[in-house]
Structure 1
Amino acid sequence: MSVTVDLDKETGVAVVTLDRPAKHNAITVEMARRLGAVWRGFRYEDEVRAVVVTGAGGRAFCTGIDRAAAAEVPQPSSPYTIDDPLLAIGPKANDLWKPVVAAVEGMACGGAFYLLGEAEFVVAGEGATFFDPHTAYGMVSAFETVHMAQKMPYGEVARMALMGTAERTSARRAYETGLVSELTETGGALAAAVRAAAVIASYPTEAVQGTVRALWSAHEAARAQALAHAPHLVALGNLPPERQAELFTRRRDGHRTR
């Protein structure tokens, strides 16, 4: 299923890995379903007290939805709704309030922000980069920008979304602007994330989950309101799929990392 779960029963930390490295851990429809099932299952597994989510292979955390998989999903004709396979890939979308730490190596872009946006904090290796390709391919970045607006200053989110594939945010810049809470040497993000998760997992889980819920309540209303607009904006602003595919095949090779 390309999503693996490893639980250390001694520490109470589960590591969820997107395991499709040959495709930069791009998410298929089946992987999206599997992620939702994993998060929902953790609600009933008392031995899981904290979670780390990461990507296999080191080249990418996740590059969003697999374009071939996206083409398989039929869309409603109404501009007021959208069938987005990624909507329920995050822990909060599945009513899981156990703390989640994201460990990022390599690229994290586009649909990866659904996961990063629902993690409590992000640990990244120095070689990690963050970018949002949507506008370059004639697509509205709606859900992604809403998620990132909870993690970064407005100007940083706007720049990342609007610059598309021409520019990537370095792990260092992401650390400076608050998206990343800890910066490690390349290859060290997972170990650092697991260490932090193990500390959190050692505390009384009721207090931890209550704290996570309280943190989310601070911005939940604004986030929900913003996400409610996203389907309309996507329906109105996206180019037809064939034009998106054309732009994708002509995508630029070079990019600037800042």
Structure 2
Amino acid sequence: MNSVRYDADKGTGVAVVTLNRPERLNAIDVEMARELGGLWREVRFDDSVRAVVLTGAGERAFSTGIDRGVVVPQPSSPYMQDDPLLSIGPKANDLWKPVVAAVRGMACGGAFYLLGESEFVVADTTATFFDPHTTYGMVSAYESVLMAQRMPYGEVARMMLMGAAERISAQRAHAIGLVSELTEPGAALDAAVRCATVVAGSPAEAVQGTVRALWAAREAACAQAFAQAPHLIALGNLPTEGQAELFAGRRSAGRFRVR
């Protein structure tokens, strides 16, 4: 793999999956999307791996979502959509081993496809969370659905509608429950691995059954909302040229909301 790094410790039963495009803030291109999908499906067959930690390389970002340089042709029908990010998460690939996300730096936009399919999130104090879709003339559909399962409605609505104008600090994310544990800078990965090691030490069948039960509580709502997403996006998105114009004129980083 070129865009994803995979390190498994058979002694602890924990594997670390690292998004490995730090020069692009771990933005997800088509190659990374394919590698992630293939990796999750392979991990299903490795019984020595009982828990996974998902993180991003470098200090600046967990992931900034889809790479703006990626061109994904779309069908003209609002009932069909080719979204490469729909297949990047563990649940989308039928993996029911627990996944703990470790976030350092920015996590925004398409990164929520991955955070939304993780069991819980550990972050350090440099982490920030935001969704710039509306600022650049795009509907935040799948991201909003996934985050609405993890955050109070008013919090996720504010994040999605404020777009690039406001970023949620790690402290605020912890206060509203998006982040389960807050660490010092650079310590999120170690903390996530410690949690994953504890989880991996329990009987695998019980752990995976619990993961499946937890997801069952969410998936019906997600499936119904996802069914609405393609035509909402088709109706609400600006043409590609309009999005590019807004993106090219993007302002400096928005204000940080700590409280």
Q: TM-score range by the shorter chain?
A: over 0.9
Corresponding residue for 1:159? 158
In 2, Cα distance between the equivalents of 1:223 and 1:28? 24
In the TM superposition, residue 234 of structure 1 has moved relative to its aligned partner by: 0.4
- 1:222 is matched by which residue type in structure 2? A
Corresponding residue for 2:13? 12
Alignment of 1:109-148 (within 5 A): 109-148=108-147
**TM norm structure 2:** 0.98
1:222 and 2:221 equivalent?
Answer: yes
Deviations 1:205-252 (A, max 9, x none): 000000000111112111110111111110000000000000000011
Corresponding residue for 1:31? 32
Deviations 1:57-78 (A, max 9, x none): 0110000010111x2x211010
In 2, Cα distance between the equivalents of 1:51 and 1:222? 25
Q: Tell me, which stretches of 5 or more residues in structure 2 are unaligned?
A: none
Corresponding residue for 1:185? 184
Corresponding residue for 1:51? 52
Which secondary structure does the structure 2 equivalent of 1:122 belong to? strand
- 1:53 is matched by which residue type in structure 2? L
Corresponding residue for 1:66? 67
1:101 and 2:100 equivalent?
Answer: yes
- 2:247 is matched by which residue type in structure 1? F
In 2, Cα distance between the equivalents of 1:185 and 1:251? 31
Deviations 1:72-112 (A, max 9, x none): x2110101111001001000000000000000000000000
Deviations 1:174-228 (A, max 9, x none): 0010100000001110000000000000100000000000111112111110111
In the TM superposition, residue 254 of structure 1 has moved relative to its aligned partner by: 3.8
- 2:64 is matched by which residue type in structure 1? T
Which secondary structure does the structure 2 equivalent of 1:219 belong to? helix
- 1:98 is matched by which residue type in structure 2? K
Corresponding residue for 1:21? 22
Which secondary structure does the structure 2 equivalent of 1:169 belong to? strand
Q: CA RMSD in A?
A: 0.6
How many equivalent residue pairs? 256
In 2, Cα distance between the equivalents of 1:61 and 1:114? 12
In 1, Cα distance between the equivalents of 2:230 and 2:91? 19
- 2:5 is matched by which residue type in structure 1? T
In the TM superposition, residue 129 of structure 1 has moved relative to its aligned partner by: 0.1
In 2, Cα distance between the equivalents of 1:106 and 1:3? 18
Q: Percent identity?
A: 74
**TM norm structure 1:** 0.98
Deviations 1:5-31 (A, max 9, x none): 000110010000001111100011010
Corresponding residue for 1:232? 231
In 2, Cα distance between the equivalents of 1:44 and 1:152? 32
In the TM superposition, residue 48 of structure 1 has moved relative to its aligned partner by: 0.7
In 2, Cα distance between the equivalents of 1:181 and 1:12? 22
Large movers: runs of 4+ above 4 Å = none
